[in-house]
Amino acid sequence: MNPAGRVFGPFEDAALFYIVEVGLTMKLLVTDIDETLSRGMDVTAEVAEACARLRENGWRIMLATGRILATARSHILGTGSDLPAIVYDGGRIMDPVTSKALYEVPLDPALALEIVQAGWEHPVELQIIGDERGYCRFSDVLTRSFFRESGVPVDDSLQSPSVPSEVFRVIFHGIPGCIRTLRRDLKAQFDGRAEVVLAGENFLDVLPRGVSKGSALEAWLTTLPEPPEIIVAAGDHHNDLEMLASAHLAVAPEDAAEEILRLAHVIMPSADRHGFSFLADHLLSEEKIRSECGAAIVL
**Tens digit of pLDDT for each residue in 35-83?**
999 988 889 999 999 999 999 999 999 999 999 999 999 999 999 999 9
Q: How far is CA 178 from CA 49, 132, 195, 298, 299, in A?
A: 39, 27, 18, 33, 34
pLDDT tens, position by position, 216-237: 999 999 999 899 999 999 999 9
Q: Is 289 in a helix, a strand, or coil? A: coil
Burial of 90 (0-12, 13-18, 19+ CB in 10 A): buried
CATH code of the domain containing 87: 3.40.50.1000
CA dist., res. 90 & res. 64, Å (int): 7
Q: At what angle do helices 45-56 and 275-283 cross, to 10 degrees?
A: 20
Burial of 121 (0-12, 13-18, 19+ CB in 10 A): exposed
Q: Is residue 249 part of a domain?
A: yes
CA dist., res. 107 & res. 90, Å (int): 12
229 and 100, same domain (yes or no) = yes
CA dist., res. 31 & res. 50, Å (int): 13
78 and 217, same domain (yes or no) = yes
224 and 154, same domain (yes or no) = no
237 and 189, same domain (yes or no) = no
pLDDT of residue 22: 40
Q: Is residue 175 part of a domain?
A: yes
100 and 231, same domain (yes or no) = yes
- Contact status, residue 85 vs residue 32, Cβ threshold 8 Å: no
86 and 45, same domain (yes or no) = yes
- Contact status, residue 168 vs residue 194, Cβ threshold 8 Å: no
Q: Is residue 19 predicted with pLDDT exceeding 50?
A: no
Whether the full predicted model's pTM is greater than 0.85, yes or no, is yes
The rounded mean pLDDT for the chain is 91
Of 208, 232, 261, the domain-final residue: 208
pLDDT of residue 26: 85
CA dist., res. 279 & res. 156, Å (int): 40
Q: How far is CA 105 from CA 90, 192, 219, in A?
A: 8, 16, 11
pLDDT tens, position by position, 130-183: 999 999 999 999 999 999 998 999 999 999 999 999 999 999 999 999 999 999
What is the residue range of 156's domain?
Answer: 111-208
Of 208, 233, 259, the domain-final residue: 208
Q: At what angle do helices 45-56 and 69-79 cross, to 10 degrees?
A: 60
